[in-house]
């Protein structure tokens, strides 16, 4: 079994001081949401063995804040910043996932961007939680986390429509369930 966790970066400023999209930083809500989703991950094993992060400032900050909230609860994963995650489409993201077979983590997390991450999540779904699929259909929001299981022992076997959507969470959904 292989587990894939897709985490979209947290909420950001509209424009960066440099004017470059790549340099956009988290805003106050983004910091809070990344910490909230990181804390949730830290309380809900299994945890990622390896994390692949887009080098964009907002993705890097999302991982740093989420990791700070997990630290002490989760064994440290191997982390790598991959330029190819920035602006990647679902096919490119799937290729990156399949390349994980080199290090063979059991649980892999990607921290990246829409629209590619949302489109990838939708195309991976073959089965799973119907309510989670319905919630994910509309969007993979900032700080949204989609968790998939694949019945394989090799990342090269991961394919579109073969994933089981185990769970979809976001800070907004967490707030709704805590208010009930």
CA torsion sign, 92 to 98 to 103 to 107? Answer: positive
pTM given for the model: 0.95
Q: 129: which DSSP letter?
A: -
Sequential pLDDT tens for the chain (180 residues):
999 999 999 999 988 888 888 899 999 999 999 999 999 999 999 999 999 999 999 999 999 999 999 988 788 999 999 999 999 999 999 999 999 988 889 999 999 999 999 999 999 999 999 999 999 998 999 999 999 999 999 999 999 999 999 999 999 888 877 644
Q: How far apart are CA 145 and CA 155, in angstroms?
A: 20
What is the pLDDT at residue 173? 87
CB contact at 8 A, 81 and 53: yes
Report d(CA 163, CA 123) in Å as an integer: 9
């Amino acid at each position: 079994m292989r587990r894939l966790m897709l985490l979209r970066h947290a909420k950001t400023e509209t424009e960066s001081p440099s004017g470059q999209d790549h340099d956009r930083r988290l805003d106050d809500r983004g910091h809070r949401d990344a910490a909230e989703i990181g804390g949730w991950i830290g309380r809900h094993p299994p945890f990622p063995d390896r994390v692949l992060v887009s080098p964009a400032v907002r993705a890097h900050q999302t991982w740093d804040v989420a990791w700070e909230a997990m630290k002490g609860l989760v064994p440290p994963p191997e982390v790598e910043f991959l330029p190819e995650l920035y602006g990647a489409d679902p096919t490119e993201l799937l290729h990156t996932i399949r390349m994980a077979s080199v290090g063979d983590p059991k649980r892999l997390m990607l921290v990246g961007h829409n629209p590619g991450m949302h489109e990838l999540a939708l195309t991976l779904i073959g089965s799973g939680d119907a309510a989670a699929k319905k919630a994910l259909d509309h969007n993979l929001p900032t700080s949204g986390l989609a968790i998939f299981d694949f019945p394989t022992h090799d990342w090269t076997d991961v394919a579109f429509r073969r994933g089981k959507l185990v769970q979809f969470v976001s800070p907004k959904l967490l707030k709704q369930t805590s208010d009930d």
